[in-house]
């Protein structure tokens, strides 16, 4: 396979949706970084903080994902969870829906999540956190209606279970950031 280098282009989703420690100054989730100059990207690209240089964007690093998966196009931000998770769950891949909730039934997304779960890769679904609050997310691999639907290759039931999981995220009580971060 020939890998074509991916470019962020006009995307600045991570510069808005993630909470970042920008060299001592905290940028809250849901707030566009003051250094972002959409649609041109980062206004301080050459001197951007280390946290931005080392950010692992799922779209960039998963070679099977084409241009339609760029986060500003598909409204899904893919991130890798690493290190001990506060909820005790495993490392894995997180899909954050940053736009319309209806995107949960996007065929490539449903198929990709199903493939990862079949392969026993830990998968999370999340929504962006509001400024000052944590991003609500759910671990998908333990949701029996979802795994059963995937095992039956039932697309409608898989989509319905993912929609239900997204609703759980949406209904999750808002959790303020730890005081040290707020
Ligand atoms: S989300 Fe990915 S593609 Fe978009 S600006 Fe960030 S690194 Fe680039
Ligand atoms: S410093 Fe640049 S790369 Fe980092 S969050 Fe801000 S705009 Fe994005």
37 within ligand 2 shell (Cβ under 6 A): no
Is residue 138 within 8 A of residue 95, CB to CB? The reply is no
Phi first, then psi, for residue 4 (nearest 5°) are: -95, 125
Looking at residue 42, the DSSP 8-state letter turns out to be B
pTM assigned to the model: 0.89
The residue assigned the tokens 């849901």 is 30
For atom 1 of ligand 2, the residue with the nearest CA is: 48
Phi first, then psi, for residue 71 (nearest 5°) are: -55, -35
How many A from CA of 42 to the centre of ligand 2?
5
pLDDT at 180: 52
Q: Around Cβ 148, how many Cβ atoms within 10 Å?
A: 13
User: Quick one: 107 exposed, middle or buried, by C-beta within 10 A (0-12, 13-18, 19+)?
Assistant: exposed
How many A from CA of 182 to the centre of ligand 2?
19
Mutation probe of ligand 1 site: the residue of 58, 60, 62, 95 with most atoms within 8 A of C-beta: 60
User: Quick one: 12 exposed, middle or buried, by C-beta within 10 A (0-12, 13-18, 19+)?
Assistant: buried
How many A from CA of 96 to the centre of ligand 1?
13
pLDDT tens-digit series, residues 24-72: 788 888 899 999 998 888 999 899 999 899 888 999 999 999 999 999 9
Distance CA 116, CA 80 (A): 13
The mean of the pLDDT values for the chain is 89
How many A from CA of 35 to the centre of ligand 2?
6
């Amino acid at each position: 396979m020939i890998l074509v280098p991916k470019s962020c282009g006009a995307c600045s989703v991570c510069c808005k949706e993630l909470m970042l420690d920008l060299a001592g100054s905290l940028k809250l989730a849901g707030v566009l970084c003051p250094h972002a100059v959409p649609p041109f990207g980062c206004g301080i690209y050459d001197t951007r903080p280390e946290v931005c240089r080392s950010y692992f964007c799922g779209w960039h690093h998963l070679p099977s994902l084409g241009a339609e998966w760029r986060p500003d196009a598909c409204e899904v931000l893919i991130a890798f969870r690493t290190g001990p998770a506060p909820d005790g769950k495993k490392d894995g891949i997180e899909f954050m829906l940053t736009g319309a909730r209806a995107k949960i039934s996007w065929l490539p997304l449903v198929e990709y999540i199903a493939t990862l779960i079949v392969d026993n890769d830990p998968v999370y679904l999340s929504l962006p956190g509001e400024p000052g609050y944590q991003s609500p997310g759910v671990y998908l691999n333990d949701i029996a209606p979802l795994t059963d639907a995937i095992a039956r290759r039932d697309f409608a039931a898989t989509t319905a279970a993912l929609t239900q999981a997204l609703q759980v995220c949406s209904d999750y009580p808002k959790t303020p950031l730890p005081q040290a971060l707020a």
